[in-house]
């Protein structure tokens, strides 16, 4: 029995296929699905048949038991008749025993047939179930492969339609690394900016409120210049 | 598509929250397949695609194409991918046609939180993979 995977590998590898090609012949798959469906129905029918045959086997077994008891009983009755010198009666009973034995033979043959039939049906069902499981698996693998290929086709189509192509791995990796480096840089810059700008913003606010040493720098400078000027004028005056 | 949309409702917010608030967008890709594109801010070049089939939900990230592989290092790349595959958390390497991919597979009825976890893992793994395999690529 060739494995499902081996079959699928042959299919997938066949003629170095390209995306877009159908992996599994859709028509063949449909026929196959139909076969599986029919096989499943056949199994269901076989199971019903099996219950009927098993019931018949039980019935014949019961009948055999009954006939055996009857034969024993009539034989005893015939012996009793002989004991009472009832030759004719004994003969009649013997005739009845003969009939019962013929019937027993028939039932025994029927029972043997039913028993063989039950064994055959059980074998048939077991084999069919195993085949169905294999077919189901095969179909599942085929359908998955088909859907993966179709999905890839859909994706390629969508990427193609958007004007871009599927990026190469190196470009892709570069882009991701770049994005992450950019993000790290941006975060660092934002951090720096926040610290710097945050300080200045605070200083500005403080200055505007007339708080801190930068608030009246002009006035302080002017007063310093005036002092220097006054000192120089005083020296020149002496 | 409707049940898909219902299933992944809030996925972008969950991914974003797992990434510490990085903005994440999610949009359907037009086409015959239910495909959702997820783009995380800063990783625009590595979109993640969600696709749904009968049995599973696949999160796929396209890494590189056959054309990008350095020819003489191809064998070594394959071995490296194979060696690394089992160790990569939640994601596996694969190839779709000529595209090398990293993907995560989840049950079809997975909870949106599980899908978010897979998407985030896939994104981290994809960046790592691009870095790790850059030497094998042109």
**pLDDT tens digits, one per residue of B21-73:** 889 999 988 777 788 999 999 888 899 999 988 778 999 999 999 999 999 99
In contact, A108 and A64? CB cutoff 8 Å: yes
Measured over the CA atoms of residue B70, residue B72, residue B74 and residue B80, the dihedral's sign is negative
The ipTM is 0.75
Cα(B38)–Cα(B122) distance, rounded to whole angstroms?
Answer: 11
**Which of A140, A152, A167 shows the shortest C-beta gap to B96?**
A152
Q: Residue B105 — φ and ψ, nearest 5°? A: -115, 130
- Which pLDDT does position A165 carry in this prediction? 52
Q: Which two tokens stand for residue A107?
A: 């039932």
H or E element at residue B62: strand B56-65
Per-residue pLDDT of chain A (238 residues; tens, 9 = 90+): 456 677 667 666 654 455 455 556 667 777 777 878 888 888 899 999 999 999 999 999 999 999 999 999 999 999 999 999 999 999 999 999 999 999 999 999 999 999 999 999 999 888 888 888 888 888 877 777 777 887 877 777 766 555 445 678 888 888 888 887 887 887 787 777 776 666 667 777 777 777 776 657 777 888 888 888 888 888 766 5
Same domain, yes or no: A121 and A205: no
**Are A188 and A81 found together in one domain?**
no
Q: Domain count for chain A, please give it.
A: 2
Torsion angle defined by CA atoms of residues B84, B86, B90 and B95, in that order, rounded to the nearest 10 degrees: 70
Q: Give the CATH number for residue B8.
A: 3.30.1460.10
Distance from CA of B10 to the nearest CA of A (A): 22
Residues A69 and A47 in one domain: yes
Task: Identify the contact set of chain A against chain B, taking CB-CB distances under 8 A.
Answer: 17-19, 140, 143-144, 147-155, 157-158, 166-173, 175-176, 179-180, 183
Q: Express each pLDDT in B77-89 by its tens digit.
A: 999 999 999 999 9
Helices marked H in chain B — which ranges? 2-7, 11-18, 74-85, 112-132
A95 and A38, same domain (yes or no):
yes
Hey, what are A160's tokens? 């193609």
Residues A158 and A43 both lie in one domain: yes
Please, where are the H alpha helices in B2-54? 2-7, 11-18
CB–CB contact B49 A155 (8 Å): yes
Find the domain containing B62 and state its range.
2-136
- The full length of chain B comes to 138
* Domain tally, chain B: 1
Gap between the Cα atoms of A18 and A147, Å rounded: 14
- Domain identity same for A150 and A183: no
CA distance B115 to chain A (A): 17
Tell me: do A148 and A181 sit in the same domain.
no
Which residues lie closer than 8 Å to A134 by C-beta, 6 or more apart?
Answer: A1, A4
Q: Nearest C-alpha of chain B: how many angstroms from A214?
A: 43
What's residue B127's pLDDT? 92
In CATH, what number is assigned to the domain containing residue A45? Answer: 1.10.287
Q: What angle is formed at CA B49 by the lines to CA A10 and CA B122, rounded to 5 degrees?
A: 90
**Residue B95: strand pairing partners:** B100
Give residue A221's domain range: 172-237
Tell whether the model's pLDDT for residue B120 goes beyond 60. yes
Of A115, A145, A166, which one is at a domain's C-terminal end?
A: A166
């Amino acid at each position: 029995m060739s494995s499902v995977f081996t079959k699928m590998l042959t299919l997938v590898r066949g003629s170095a296929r390209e995306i877009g090609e159908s992996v599994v012949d859709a028509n063949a798959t449909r026929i196959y699905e139909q076969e599986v469906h029919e096989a499943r129905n056949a199994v269901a029918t076989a199971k019903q048949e099996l219950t009927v045959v098993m019931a018949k086997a039980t019935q014949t077994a019961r009948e055999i038991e009954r006939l055996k008891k009857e034969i024993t009983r009539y034989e005893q009755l015939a012996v009793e008749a002989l004991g009472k010198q009832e030759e004719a009666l004994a003969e009649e009973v013997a005739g009845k025993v003969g009939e019962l034995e013929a019937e027993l033979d028939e039932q025994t043959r029927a029972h043997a047939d039913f028993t063989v039939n039950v064994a055959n049906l059980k074998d048939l069902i077991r084999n069919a179930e195993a085949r169905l499981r294999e077919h189901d698996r095969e179909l599942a693998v085929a359908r998955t492969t088909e859907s993966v290929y179709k999905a890839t086709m859909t994706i390629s189509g969508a990427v193609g339609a958007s004007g871009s192509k599927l990026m190469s791995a190196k470009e892709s990796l570069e882009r991701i690394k770049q994005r992450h480096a950019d993000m790290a840089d941006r975060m660092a810059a934002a951090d720096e900016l926040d610290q710097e700008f945050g300080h200045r913003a605070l200083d500005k606010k403080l200055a505007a409120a007339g708080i801190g040493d930068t608030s009246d720098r002009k006035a302080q400078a002017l007063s310093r210049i005036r002092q220097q000027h006054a000192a120089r004028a005083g020296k020149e005056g002496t | 598509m409707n049940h898909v949309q219902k299933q992944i409702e809030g996925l972008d917010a969950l991914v974003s929250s797992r990434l510490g608030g990085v903005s994440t967008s999610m949009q359907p890709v037009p086409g015959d397949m239910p495909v959702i594109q997820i783009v995380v801010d800063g990783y625009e070049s590595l979109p993640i695609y969600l696709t749904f089939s009968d049995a599973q939900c696949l999160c796929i990230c396209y890494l590189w194409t056959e054309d990008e592989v350095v020819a003489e290092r191809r064998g070594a790349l394959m071995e490296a991918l194979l060696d690394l595959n089992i160790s990569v958390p939640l994601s596996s390497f694969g190839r779709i046609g000529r595209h090398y991919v990293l993907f995560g597979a989840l049950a079809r009825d997975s909870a949106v939180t599980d899908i978010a976890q897979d998407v985030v893992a896939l994104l981290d793994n994809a960046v790592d993979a691009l870095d790790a395999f850059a030497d094998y690529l042109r």
